Structure formats: C-alpha cells, structure tokens
Structure 1
C-alpha cells in the first residue's frame, strides 16, 4: 500500500468479528504494506514453520509493546485511524534497506470483566496498581485499608474506565522488529507514536529476545474493541486537517472567502492622463543639466502603471550611472515634477526613470486579492497578504509567516495606516478564528477599534501598562510552545499541529504606534521584542510594528537586527530611511500609499509599490467593517463567550469552564480531583481534560504516581489575577 489515502485498508474492521486475528505492517522507505492474517501457529504447534520464520528475523532487534498500567484503565480512543498515518510518517524517515515490521495479534476474551471490576474497586479505594491475581490483590486491599484509616485517600471515578469494562475485550500481543543500524533513532519516533495514545493508560516498548512474532503467548494485556478500532481501523487521517489551504478547498472555505471578498467596496478608477511627450521632455531635461549633448534617448521603452510612468533607456555614452544620479534634483526641477526616481535598469548599461502622473489611480484591496494569482500564492503561503502593485501594475504578495516580523513606517498622510488596515483585513478575510488570533495594541485608541467585533480579536489594547503585560505573556506563551514541541518531538507549530488534534493558533501582534508605547514603557518592551524576534518564528508568533517616528533612539540597533524586513511610506528625509533600511532610497515618495519595501531574499534591494485601500470614503469603509463583522455571527457561537474585563494578559477567547477551574484552584490552592469535581459539578472525564489543559499551560505538574496527583506550579502573579476574581 503506497503513500496515498486509501478508502479501504486491508486491516478491515470486520476482523473484530473474529475470535482470533492478526494484522501485520511492513514499513520500508516511502511505503507501508499491511495485511491481515490468522496466526495458525497459535492453533497448532508447527515447529518447522516456526523455526523457518525465526531465521528470517535474525538480523532484527525485537521489541514488545505492552500496557504500562493495569489493563482495565483505558487508552485515548479519539485518534481514529491515525496509527496508519504515523506509520506512513515513519516510512518517510527510513533509508536504504531499513525495515520496520509491526505484528498485532488479538484474541477475544470472555472472562476478564469480573476481574476488571474487582481491580477497579481496589483502584478506587486508593490502590493505584492492583494486582490481577486475586490473592495478592486481597492482601493489597487490606494494606490500603489500614493506610486509609490513618490517612484517608481515594482515586477519582472515571466514566472511560466503565466504558472499557462494558465493551468487548481482546488480549493482545504487539511485536516490533527493527532492521537498522540506527535503531535507537527510529525507536524514538516509534515510542513517540505510541505516546499519542496516552490517557489513563499508555503503551510502551520493551526489548525482548528474538522470537517468532506470529506465535501468540497468552497474557493479561487487554484492549477493548473501541481501543482497537481507534488504533487500527478508524478512517481519519492527519492529512485531512493539516494544511489550511487544503481544508479550505475541501470544506467550501473558498466559497466563504469569495462571499466575504464581495463585501469589499468596488472603487471606480479614473482614467490616467497620458503625456505622450514625456520621453521628449526627459531628453530635454537631461540635455539641460549637461548629461547629454543632444535631446535624444536611445533604446527607450515606456511602461505606465497606476501612479508612475517608467522610462527605460541606455546610459549615455561617456557617462556613468552615478553621473546621472548626482544630477537627480536638477533633472527633477527641469521636468517640474514632484518626484523623480532613478534606478539601474534590468539590463547592462541601462537606467530607469520613474515619473509620477499628474493624476493617480487608486488601487482597491478587492481587486488585488480577488485574483487567481493571489489564490495560488496563498496555497503555499499561510499568512499571505498583498503589498500592492509595482510600478507597472504587477501585484506584489508577501507571506508574514516567512517574513516572521515586519516594520512599517510612514508620516501622517503617507498611507501607513491605510496599508496596515489592508493587511489586517486580508488576514481576517483569509483565516478563521480557529487558525489565527490577532493581538492589537492601539496607543492612539482610535486606529484599530473597528476590529473589536471580530472573533479573531477579543479586545483592542489601549492601556500601555497592559500592553507591556501583553508582551510578557507572549514571551511566556512562546516558551510554553517550545516546551510542548519538545514533549511532542517536533520543532515547529506545523509539526505540532500535524501530530495533535487540538491545533495551536498562529498569533499576530500589531503595535499601531511603537513610539508612543516606547515612550511609556521604555526599554522593557524592547527586551521583549528582542526575545520574540530571536525565537518566535517556529512558535507561530509574529510581530507587526508601526511607527511615524523611526528615529534611532526609538528603533534601536537591537530592534533593527531582529526585525530585518521593512516597508516604508513617505518619511520626509533620507535620515529616517537610513534608520530603517541602513541607507537612503533612490527616489522621493509622494504620499498617499506610495511606498517602498526592503525584504530579505527579494529580487530587488528596494521595490517601490502603490498600496491598496479598502475605500476612499471613510463612511463606506466603516460600513464595510460592520458588514464583515456581522458576517461572522453564528459561524462559531462557542467563540462568543464573555471576556472577563479584569484580564491582564494578551487578548484571546476564554473557555469559561477552564477559567472557573483556574479561579477555584487560585482561591483554594487545592488540586485534588474529587474536590474539584464537586466544586465544578462536572463529569470526571471532563475535569481530566481540563486538568490536562492546565498541565499544557504550565499551571500544574502531573505526577506519574496517581496518589500524588497534580502539583500547582504556576507563578504567584498569575494566581493573584484569578484570586481577585469572584468565584462562580
């Protein structure tokens, strides 16, 4: 079976109707082969066959998979069908003639439930590992009975245990044979694969002597029918939920996007007033300033965009590019234009002149994102947005995920805020609230308020002290994510989301005016940005920092070193451009969305562009945001929970049940399951999920010993935030 999604696996769920069956997986490089078999050697003692098979495995290391807790405790059963996907992933890391074989043998059991019930009773009384031998278990119960008289204790009731005991049970044997010189490296992956099924119980590998994997040896390892179905016979695959673009295509997301794009205003374009004499005027200007003797251009070509006319020509004989560049202001004055760009041409010995039109066309956001080119770009670029159009009206697209962080500068009226709104709006249009969280910091209190109704944004932060706390929490979240990556044996948010049902959101933090924030908070905010700049890429946390005042005392060398991609609109003088880019730009920006970008890896050092706008009419733009905000209503009602106004961390949608649990723990400092279940009035299985979430968030530490339970490890500052809340 090759690495493609199959409608039917050889390992059929119909096998569960048999009293005895086996499933074999042979994994080689880029291929997984599986088959079902009846382990005949179980039914007859054919030593010749057994010895023949054993000889085939002389070069293998053998391991047995077994339960780590008493058999009545259940595994996770929500990963229906992912086992095969994990094996496919394993095949992708195999090399050469490496081989991994996995043999599962199951035999239906009919006499296990009574013993399971007795063991579970013993477990509930405080015996974490009750023996499956009756006599030993009775001795254990007497011992724990004496201990409970001195120090009463018990273990929580679990609905999932009851479900397993009520289900059909199969004793099982799983043998893994590994043929590889890097056996330990492959075992790390295999062990991680089985850890995905950890719940009240788990599966672990133990080295064994080489023996025939087809021979079943009776044991007291029991899996329920539900657990076997989750392991081998489900129909889910990781590939169905990994990539956002694939999910959109499969689930009608493109249709939803198209409907939302239609909400964007349509901007009527004015005709550009063409000046057919502009090449002649340019030649005359060059002659006037002494660049050429005759008013004539050679090999000239003309291209017109929405804002600029681009004239490309040969560099005059006996002149260098620098000779013309030095005369730029004289040429501009001779032409009588408010801006002139002079750049090296795309071909040898050529030069480009950029001359603005007398009237400029507006570029609408709708026209640049409602194009096939943007849809194609977005398939491979998760946080795609449109910068605008270049000098000759080619669309320029970038991916914030690849940029990691972005600096945006521009004075009042330059188009900075308009560009920022187009960028944020594009992210809102192309992502669900389950994929993306926006953290918006608005020192001016009026620039980003239109995003408050959106489910991607729980609150727009205007208080600067709270903004500082927001950055601290972002750094803590980044560190928490790296801890989870280590636990899951992955290196990035993409790897984590491939392995886990609960996905991490990408987080984009926008500071509308960094200078104002810096003036209040000072160097602390710079330290947080430096830490995020150095590490947050793999964690899926991205920064967009905007400012009108890019002076060197605000944008320090540390900030510039960690945020290397920048977009600028008109700043008035080259000193400010040098602060951002490290050097001046080869033209004067004329405002109203005329911008320049310097992006690492881009084909041009400086790329001039005209940015898009949502609408030229302020009222029409506000009506658009209202319509777009209303379009999200009902799409995910669970995300419209009330946000506690006393929250001091960064903005995100709260789970009220989890918040209630945090409040109770903060006020009582108790983590015992029985107590919390009574206070919360919820099922024990639900409470277990919430406690696991608190472990992930760094609130609790779960001990391997169930008698020790959970330990409260979160900091006092976090506890104080919840301690002040009124317990509900």
Structure 2
C-alpha cells in the first residue's frame, strides 16, 4: 500500500514513504519540519511590503518638499541646466565638460538636492502645475503615514479627489492673476495654468474665466462641506416671552410658560423639558442662567418633578391631549400658554428643533457617560497557563501514523496520503483512501483503530466537510491547556467587531475561535458532571465582561445549584438585572425563576412596542436612532442594552416547574433575538424530556461537552460524537451546519473572583437593572379593595388615557405618561379595583369597562362625591 507525497508542514504534518515499498517495508518518518512561510517580494497582502511602501512614500514626500522649496530660491541659477533646449533630463548623467559643450553656462546646479532635484522641481513646477505641486507633498505624506503607521489622517479617496481639484484649480487661478501682473514668475502657475488661461481668455474672456473659477470654488465648498445658503429670518415678536430678554436657542425640546397675568391666578414658572442628563437647567428663579427679568419680581421656587419629564395638569372634564411621536425630521416646538383660569396648559408650535440640530449642538447620545470612569478588566487579572506552543512529538506522530496504516491494511484498505494537524489536545490525521475504497468501511473501524492506538476518544469524520479526506481525531498524550488569557489577549478577540463576542477556545488546528452570541442567537450547553460545562459558562461571562460596558449589557443569572454563579454577585450594580424589590440579583428559587422569565417576556413585549413606535426592525437599528437623537426620552424611548439570560442547570427547573418554565423560555427563544435578549441554557442531562422539541427548534447553536451515551449526544447535537470526547473542556460546537471540535478556554475560580472584585470596586449604578414587575396569577385572584383617598395622582389621567384608547395596558400608561413600570402597574391595579378595567388575562390586554369619555367623567364625578 503506497503512501505518496511529503505532506508534513507547520501544525499540519504529512508522511512521505517509498512509493515502491509496501506498508510493512515502509521507511520510518525521519524528520518533521515546521512550515516556514516564504515572503513573496510583491505580495500586496504581506504586512512587511506595505510598511516598506509606506516608508517609501514618506521619504518621497520629504524629498519633494526639499526640492520644491529649494527651487523657489535657485530656479534662476539652474535655468540653463534644466532647459529642454540644453538637454533637460538628458543632462542628468552627463559630465561637466559635456554640459559645457552643449551650451550649459552653469554646469553646477544650486538646488539643495542636486541635479535630480533641480530637474524634478522644474518638471513639476515650471512645466506642469507651478507651486500647486506642493499638494503632491501632502498626498504622498498622508498615504505613507497611513501605510506605515496604520493611522488614517484623512480618508485616502477624499485626499486624492481634493488634491486633484486643488492642483488644477490653484494652477489655473494663479495663472489668471498672472494676466494682471507684469514680470510675474512663470513657475508659480506652471505651463498648465499659463496655457489654460490663454485658452480660456480666447474663448470666454477674462470675465468668463473669473466666473468659471468662482463657480468651481463654490461647487467644491458645497460638495466638501455641504454649506447652506439661507436668508436671515425675521423673529416673530409675538412668540417672545413678556418680561424676558431674547433667549438663545438651547437645542433641546422645551416648553415655555406664558407669563401673561390672568386676574386672580399666580404666574406660571418657566418649565423646560430636559433630555435626561443633558441640556440646561433652571435656576431657583425659574429662568435660564443666560436670561434675566426686565422688571425683577419674586417668583415661586421651581421643584423638578420626579415622575414624568413634564407634568401637565388637565381639566377634569376634558380628555387627555397626547403629543404625536416625532419622526427624525419632525418639528418639536413647544409653548405652554394658559387657556383656562385654573392654569390648564396646552401645547402649541413655536420653534423648530430637529434631531440633526440636537446632534450638532450636543453631539450623539453616549450611553457610557453615566459611568464614564468605568475601566474594563485588565489582562493581568487572568493567569497564564501553559507555554501556548504545541510541542511536536515526532515519535508519537510516527507511531500513530503507522498504527492507523497498519490497522487499515489488516482490512485490505489502501490509502494514498496521510497528514496530521496538531491541536492543543487532539491531533487530526487526514487520510485519502485509494480509489474504490468505500468510506463506510473505514467508518466502521472506529473501535478497531481506538484499540490499536490504545487511546480514549477516537472520533472518525467520514468525509470531512469541504475536503476530500477522512479525518481521524486522536487525543494527544500530553495535552496543552488553553488559558483564557491567551484567547482574550489575541488580536482576533481584541479587534473583533461582533456585538456579543464570546471566546470559546481553540480549534484542533490551534486557531482561536470567537463566536457572536448575538447571531447564534441562543446557545444550548450540555455535558456530564465534571466535563467542563461550568468552566464554559464562566468563559462566556468573562468574554463579555472584557468587551462590553455596563450600559450596553445586562445579565440575568439563574443558578438553581446556588453555588456556581455566586462569584458574579459583586458586579450586581454594574451588569446584573433583577426583579424589583428582590434582595439578591442571582436567582436561585424556582418560583422567582418563573417570575423572572415572565418578567423578561414583559420586557420583550415592551421593547417590541418601542421598536414599533420607532419604525425599526431590531435592537441595533433602534439604538442607532436613539444615539442620533431621533428618538426622544420624552416619548418613552430609552437606550436598550443587550440582556443575556444564563441558566446554569435547566434540568432541575424542568423537573420542579415543567411547563411554567418551558413556556416563557420558548417564547423568549422564538421572539427575543430581534430586541437583544439572548439565552444561554446549560444542563447536564440532555434527555428528550428536558430538551424538548420546542426548545431545540429555537436553539440552532449548541455546545456539547462529553456525555455518557450516544443517545445523549444525538439529543443535543442530532448526531454522535459527544460521547467520544475526552473531557476536561473538550467539546463540540454545532452551529446548524457542521460540527467544530474545540478545546474550551480555561478560567479558574480565583480568576473570576479577581475580575468580579475589579469591576465591583468601581463606581456603579445605584442599583441593579430593574426588570418589569410581574405578578403571578395567584396574586391576581380575589377582589381588590379600592381606596379613593390613596389613589395615585396620575389616576385620572391614566383612566382617560385607557378609555380614549380602549386598551387596558400597563405599557401604554408607562409610555404615554412617562412613568416607571412599577408605578404604572400600581395604577392599573387601582383602575381594576375601581372597576374601570377588567382583571389580568395573561398576555392579552385588559378589558376596558367604560365605553367613552362622557361615561368616565360621570364615573369620576360620582367617585369624588362619595
């Protein structure tokens, strides 16, 4: 059986044997050579060539600068040398005697860079573009700096376009001026500018040439800077505040109170609507710091409301007036004037404030500003395990190769080639069978090959996806540990642009593997006890902590075992989310798990309402709009962080809660990906009653550590292989297309503790991120007593809103009245107790029991009379 070709290289090793020798008489492998990549001289993708090219452009820019500058002072002395009549460029390599014979009066040039500098400067400045040629210096410098230092000073494409325009424009413009000045040095505009002006003068005259230059300059400014041409607008005096000076445009949507006096009524203070954390604030006198009274009068102290952004009192017998939601270009002008003696405020149009105005004056919204001093964890918090270099044992490779070939030869199976790819814990031997050999025949020899190699975890891949080979994975005798530090420190992880990057470890070809949880979009993890499942969960958490800011990511941690995720309690005020009034952010009680999952479903529905109002399809588009201030907090919008739900032991929850857990998990798995809620579910028992068909259908990405049986492997992966892993972090990742064997990155408990301490010691939010309040069906049952004296101040406004829309929804009250979810939930309970809305009906909106505004006003009037 011949084995052809020398195939051993780098981490990939191949065997070469004598084509004429049989398997038994085959020559032993003499040496294993590491692959040495040769550097192609003109490989544009090679980093060294790019750096050399960048250095070349920088040197050229400096050379041009010196040559051109010298030419300004020495052009007259060098004129006889550079003239075409005396030889020009042909003089470059001639001796002084030859130059004098050709009529060159001064064979010695004065240019600081010698003959070549003089000729080059004359070519660019005298014969071409004049002093506009200095633009070439800037172009070469920008390109060279970009290639050498990988720092973009200016976009290269714009630089080239602007440079081309500048060279042509300035050459012609200077030549145009040349026509009005006598004895003007010809090199200032170059022959291009000179002859172009002669042509323009003959065709359209000097006035036409001037107009053409002005048109070109203005066109450039419009294209480059998008300048606007607006006539000054006259201010409308009727919109100014009586008693105030002119108020400068503050760029934020705001409301002005008309201070016109109504007999018997107090004056209404100036009440701006502020973007949270942005914009101007009122002084105690109720005016902007930049304004003053023309006639000072005592004013009542203004106290900022703690509930909605602006609190507008409504008359008892009038419906609530709702503001339409602004589009990106919607005008957001607001004035408040007194229209009734009881200080009822109405909203009218005044000034125009667009999203572009807000961004131009205040910049894009930055969600990280609340914790602007937050520092990401450093690499020194992680331990450095192992040497990160694979030790090539040539004897082991040779022995395994011979045993594989010998075993196949016993069953009359011939192979043409064999090569080996060495990973941190597993070596992949790829064989190419001889023509006519059935693949199934080799696949059935899995146990025989494992017996001959005396190794645990032999796995045959027949055929390998995308290759015309059959793979045999054999564990290494001396496996190399993959440390979390080596993966986090890699350039691949540091420079990733993924939304939720998770560093899972290394492949069998020793390549770092990074996955995006946002695109998975949910992950199912299974593995027997002690095979690395908890370490894998920690690796996922640590990866996200190293890449995301607390404002961008929140975790919901469910730990039925109560000991696995407790280390992350220290980062509660930074990254964790919990139910309101809960003492512990890490959920361990089964009943609280059910409430948390249903609360996440409420959060999901609320987020979809926000996406619907914003007219976007996913979380990324929504946040882009919000950051660009096209969505206003005054309309109930907010920046939405990613939420990652991690359940460490799902089997225990299914055993104790069953359908109560499966239903919200299935809902979240089906719908939550678009609004940034992602699930990581782990279990050590991947049986069909735990991982049901509904759950599996919505978890295309699955990780399997070593399991006990082929049935468990097929349950989690829909194929075998997980039962043949070697444990200790050895895992298979299924992304729906194929299986990838990985060695999970190892992160130990002390490392997680250090990271949690580092984050927890920094300033955080006042509390953990609060999820919407959820009340179970048991708490909803039974009649509720209504106390009219203790009703919420916003009770009547909420009642009018509910009746107007004929929809009993907590989220509707929250968004339209700008209330928190807890307060909106208490108001809906009071509305139910008062008989305005019906009882809780799960995901359906409550029934509204009052048909119209007239009936509601009578109902409220009777309530007040009691």
Q: For the superposition of Structure 1 and Structure 2, which TM-score range results when normalised by the shorter chain?
A: 0.5 to 0.7
Q: Which residue of 1 aligns with 2:610?
A: 484
Q: Does 1:364 align with 2:364?
A: no
Alignment counterpart, residue 740 of structure 2, candidates 604, 607, 612:
607
Query: Is contact 1:272-1:360 (8 Å) kept?
Result: no
The Cα shift of 1:471 comes to 0.3
Cα 1:278–1:553 change in 2 (3 A) is same
> Is the partner of 2:505 in helix, strand or coil?
strand
Alignment counterpart, residue 636 of structure 1, candidates 752, 760, 763:
763
Query: Is contact 1:342-1:352 (8 Å) kept?
Result: yes
The Cα shift of 1:369 comes to 1.2
Alignment counterpart, residue 430 of structure 1, candidates 547, 570, 581:
547
The Cα shift of 1:197 comes to 4.0
The Cα shift of 1:194 comes to 4.6
The Cα shift of 1:332 comes to 0.8
Cα 1:390–1:233 change in 2 (3 A) is closer
> Is the partner of 2:679 in helix, strand or coil?
strand
Q: Distance in 2 between matches of 1:192 and 1:229?
A: 9
> Is the partner of 2:724 in helix, strand or coil?
coil
The Cα shift of 1:551 comes to 0.3
Alignment counterpart, residue 731 of structure 2, candidates 579, 592, 595:
595
Q: TM-score when scaled to structure 1?
A: 0.60
Q: Distance in 2 between matches of 1:392 and 1:471?
A: 40
Q: Which residue of 2 aligns with 1:55?
A: none
> Is the partner of 2:515 in helix, strand or coil?
strand
Q: Does 1:267 align with 2:385?
A: yes
Listed as ranges, the matches of 1:512-661 within 5 Å are 512-585=648-721, 588-600=724-736, 605-615=738-748, 621-622=749-750, 624-633=751-760, 635-637=762-764, 639-641=765-767
Q: Which residue of 2 aligns with 1:452?
A: 569
Q: Which residue of 2 aligns with 1:353?
A: 472
| 1:480-518 alpha-carbon deviations (Å, 9 max, x no partner) | 011111122222222222222541111001000000011
Q: Which residue of 2 aligns with 1:330?
A: 448
> Is the partner of 2:242 in helix, strand or coil?
helix
Q: Which residue of 2 aligns with 1:278?
A: 397
Q: Distance in 2 between matches of 1:398 and 1:695?
A: 35
Q: Which residue of 2 aligns with 1:472?
A: 598
Listed as ranges, the matches of 1:40-79 within 5 Å are none
Listed as ranges, the matches of 1:14-163 within 5 Å are 33-38=226-231, 105-107=233-235, 109=237, 112-114=240-242, 159-160=271-272, 163=287
Q: Distance in 2 between matches of 1:568 and 1:369?
A: 22
Cα 1:111–1:438 change in 2 (3 A) is closer
The Cα shift of 1:155 comes to 12
Greater relative contact order, per chain length (Cα 8 Å cut-off, separation 6+): 1
| 1:263-300 alpha-carbon deviations (Å, 9 max, x no partner) | 11111349747252534544444544656548x85322
Cα 1:634–1:606 change in 2 (3 A) is closer
| 1:310-346 alpha-carbon deviations (Å, 9 max, x no partner) | 2222113431221100111111112111121212246
Cα 1:406–1:222 change in 2 (3 A) is closer
Cα 1:234–1:511 change in 2 (3 A) is closer
Query: Is contact 1:700-1:714 (8 Å) kept?
Result: no
> Is the partner of 1:614 in helix, strand or coil?
coil
Cα 1:332–1:627 change in 2 (3 A) is closer
Q: Which residue of 2 aligns with 1:66?
A: none
Q: Does 1:397 align with 2:514?
A: yes
Q: Distance in 1 between matches of 2:420 and 2:381?
A: 36
The Cα shift of 1:693 comes to 4.0
Q: Distance in 1 between matches of 2:481 and 2:226?
A: 58
Alignment counterpart, residue 193 of structure 1, candidates 323, 328, 332:
328
| 1:676-704 alpha-carbon deviations (Å, 9 max, x no partner) | 9xxxxxxxxxxx999614379965999xx
Q: Distance in 2 between matches of 1:634 and 1:494?
A: 30
The Cα shift of 1:592 comes to 0.2
Query: Is contact 2:422-2:428 (8 Å) kept?
Result: yes
The Cα shift of 1:233 comes to 7.3
Q: Distance in 2 between matches of 1:435 and 1:399?
A: 15
The Cα shift of 1:412 comes to 0.8
Q: Distance in 1 between matches of 2:334 and 2:419?
A: 70
> Is the partner of 2:616 in helix, strand or coil?
coil
Alignment counterpart, residue 462 of structure 1, candidates 578, 588, 593:
588
Q: Does 1:413 align with 2:541?
A: no
The Cα shift of 1:553 comes to 0.9
The Cα shift of 1:423 comes to 0.7
Cα 1:229–1:579 change in 2 (3 A) is closer
Query: Is contact 2:532-2:728 (8 Å) kept?
Result: yes
Cα 1:465–1:196 change in 2 (3 A) is farther
Query: Is contact 2:239-2:350 (8 Å) kept?
Result: no
Q: Does 1:498 align with 2:624?
A: yes
Q: How many residues align?
A: 511
Q: Distance in 1 between matches of 2:460 and 2:258?
A: 85
> Is the partner of 1:628 in helix, strand or coil?
helix
> Is the partner of 2:327 in helix, strand or coil?
helix
Q: Distance in 2 between matches of 1:365 and 1:666?
A: 60
Question: Structure 1: where are the runs of 5+ without partners?
Answer: 6-29, 40-104, 118-127, 146-153, 170-188, 203-219, 616-620, 651-664, 677-687, 703-710, 719-728
The Cα shift of 1:129 comes to 13
Query: Is contact 2:459-2:721 (8 Å) kept?
Result: no
Q: Distance in 2 between matches of 1:448 and 1:31?
A: 54
Query: Is contact 1:570-1:590 (8 Å) kept?
Result: yes
Alignment counterpart, residue 360 of structure 2, candidates 224, 229, 235:
235
Q: Distance in 1 between matches of 2:604 and 2:363?
A: 24
Q: Distance in 1 between matches of 2:841 and 2:788?
A: 9
The Cα shift of 1:160 comes to 2.0
The Cα shift of 1:37 comes to 2.4
Alignment counterpart, residue 375 of structure 1, candidates 489, 494, 502:
494
Query: Is contact 1:238-1:498 (8 Å) kept?
Result: no
Q: Distance in 2 between matches of 1:406 and 1:494?
A: 20
Q: Distance in 2 between matches of 1:261 and 1:306?
A: 22
Q: Distance in 2 between matches of 1:281 and 1:275?
A: 10
Q: Distance in 1 between matches of 2:717 and 2:355?
A: 55
The Cα shift of 1:394 comes to 0.5
The Cα shift of 1:571 comes to 0.5
Query: Is contact 1:508-1:541 (8 Å) kept?
Result: yes
The Cα shift of 1:447 comes to 0.6
Q: Distance in 2 between matches of 1:476 and 1:666?
A: 29
Query: Is contact 2:600-2:772 (8 Å) kept?
Result: no
Q: Distance in 2 between matches of 1:260 and 1:451?
A: 17
| 1:246-273 alpha-carbon deviations (Å, 9 max, x no partner) | x9xxx898xx44x522211111349747
Q: RMSD over aligned Cα, in angstroms?
A: 4.9
Cα 1:195–1:526 change in 2 (3 A) is farther
